[in-house]
Amino acid sequence: MTTFEPYVDLSFCVQSSSPLWSDHGFSLFGAISRILPDAHDTNAIGILPIAGNQIGERKIQLDTRSRLTLRIPSGDIARWLPLSGKTLEVSGASLQVGVPEVRALVPTTAIRSRLATTKNGQEQARFEAEIRRQMEALGVSKDAILSIGKRRTIRVHSKEVVGYEVVIEGLSFDESLAIQTHGLGGRRHMGCGVFVGIR
């Protein structure tokens, strides 16, 4: 099993009176980069999609559980703390960013990503083969159960990028942490290929 620098989730409370587009990954990263321009200089970040209540028309309303969560190396926490107290302009919605808390990654035998993308991954069979290749590169056993779920898209600039929901089961704790740390596929800074535990 490959060894990685310990990662953590830096989780900020966020509030907004305006609805947020469900597909907000690209715009959210842009908003963060306007406040912290060197965000573009690192690949060592995953940004989890902000959760909220679905209100229709592909929009969500934030609630008390909504968080802006950055998955980062534990040594990089100070780099992202200046987001606290700032306002992020995300596709017309103003998000007030509160005080963060640091959460350790929790290894679970089953993990899920709402949307993962790969290069030339429009075809499901090709996508699945690439995800399996990346799992193997992380040292994940072939006995792990990979399930490709709903086809989804993320808008990047004016382009619709195709991906899929991914669930992986039967993992050891070390395998679970490896995938949660490194992610699978691309565009982790836009919320893709970032995995959380299924309880």
Distance (Å, rounded) from C-alpha 23 to C-alpha 74? Answer: 28
Residue with tokens 């429009």: 122
Dump pLDDT digits (tens) for 69-122: 999 999 999 999 999 999 999 988 999 999 999 999 999 999 999 999 998 788
Which regions of the chain are under pLDDT 50?
none
Residue 41 has what DSSP assignment?
G
pLDDT, position 73: 95
Torsion 73-75-78-84 (CA) sign: positive
pLDDT, position 34: 94
DSSP letters, 139-165, are T--TTSEEEEEEEEEEEETTEEEEEEE
